[in-house]
Structures are given as structure tokens and as C-alpha cells.
Chain A
Amino acid sequence: GAGVSQSPSNKVTEKGKDVELRCDPISGHTALYWYRQSLGQGLEFLIYFQGNSAPDKSGLPSDRFSAERTGGSVSTLTIQRTQQEDSAVYLCASSSRRERTDTQYFGPGTRLTVL
């Protein structure tokens, strides 16, 4: 079946502009995660959605970052007034609570470059 998809695959923007990154999780997966990965680094947790519960936003680095998940499916990560340090690959993953141990399935990521 279809995996997690993300768009765009690459995004180049100018400092100070807003960007929106999209994630389409696997159909039926109730949990959705956003991560950030800087070059050569591990994954940094950003935000977690689980069903209709309030999202866990504890990983968002600043109030310029926000995310929403509409209808329990598609999610959008928004970065306002982008800074050069926001340049990274943004990864989305989804999982199913029916899989007891919440194996995460990752998308290919969006590479964001802030000039």
C-alpha cells in the first residue's frame, strides 16, 4: 500500500518568509510525528499527534513553528519568518496504535534551505 508521503521534496526560501510543509500519513494511522534532521545529525522530535488528543508540542524549538492535523489525516508544519538555522530535512512519520509497539513509518522528508 501507499506509504507516508511528504511535499515538497525540496524547498528553498528566503530568510523571513513563511513555509508550509505537508505530510500525508498512511491511511488509518492515528499517530503522526514531525522530526527535524540537520546535516549529519540525529533526528530531533518536534511534535506528535495522536487521534483527537491534544498534540504534544514539547519539541517545537520556538513559537515560529506550528503544526496542525486536519481530519485526523493530513498534517501541515508551518515555519514563520524562517531563519537560516531552520535549514534541515523535515521528516514525518505515522504509526498505528493497533500495532502495540507503535512502529513508525517515515516519509522521504522535505529538505528546507533558507537562504
Chain B
Amino acid sequence: LAKTTQPISMDSYEGQEVNITCSHNNIATNDYITWYQQFPSQGPRFIIQGYKTKVTNEVASLFIPADRKSSTLSLPRVSLSDTAVYYCLVGSSGSARQLTFGSGTQLTVLP
């Protein structure tokens, strides 16, 4: 079971780029890296997923180095509405025990 480690909290200002790094030293060959976003009183929402190198979608980018022992979620030009908890998950398809969300990173975007 790949354990993940993230910073507990981060502060940023509107318009800045935010990078949140997750460590997963014992990631397995078949494991993917998935990031979720959770607003208060809501369930987590899928943001982005990747296996290696770089993945980009309309919301974020995910950078994964060659050794895959960490990953960095990049949020470009954050706004106040990006204030949320961000979770990093590592696991493979069909593996129920991938489901260790951890405490996540509380991102607070300031005006």
C-alpha cells in the first residue's frame, strides 16, 4: 500500500501559481497518481490523474519525475474559489486498498 505524504496547509494569493507536492516513496509499478479536490460539505472531486512525466487538463497540470516517488499538482493563476483541501492518491486499478486519502493539503487563497 503506497503511503502518501503532503503538506498540511499552504497559503497563496489570487493570480499566483500554486504547486502542491506529494511524496509516495513506495509507489508500485502499476500504480497511478490521482489528485482530488474537496470543498467544505462536499465529497471529493477528481482533478487530474497521471502515470509519468506530465499531464495537463483544463484545470491543472501534474508533474511526475522519472522515479515516480513524488508528484506535483500545479494550479495556474489560482482564485479564491480554489480554496479547498487537495488529496493525493496512489494506487492501481481494482486495488481497493489504494483508498488511503490521508489528511490532504488545505490550500487557502487570499485576496
Contacts and interface: CB of A to CB of B under 8 A. Distances in A.
Contacts, number: 61
Nearest to B85: A42
Q: Determine the interface band of chain A, counting residues with CB < 8 A from chain B.
A: 20 to 34
Interface residues of B, number: 22
Contact of B100 (A33, A45, A50): A45
B29 interface: no
A107 B43 contact: yes
Interface of A: 4, 33, 35, 41-43, 45, 48, 50, 56, 58-59, 91, 93, 97, 100-109
Nearest to B95: A102
B94 A105 contact: no
Mostly, the B contact residues are loop
Contacts of B104: 42
A104 B46 contact: yes
A93 B93 contact: no
Given A41-B103, A42-B103, A42-B104, A102 B43 contact: no
The 9 closest A-B pairs by CB, nearest first: A106-B43, A48-B96, A43-B101, A45-B99, A56-B96, A42-B103, A101-B32, A42-B101, A103-B46
Nearest to B33: A101
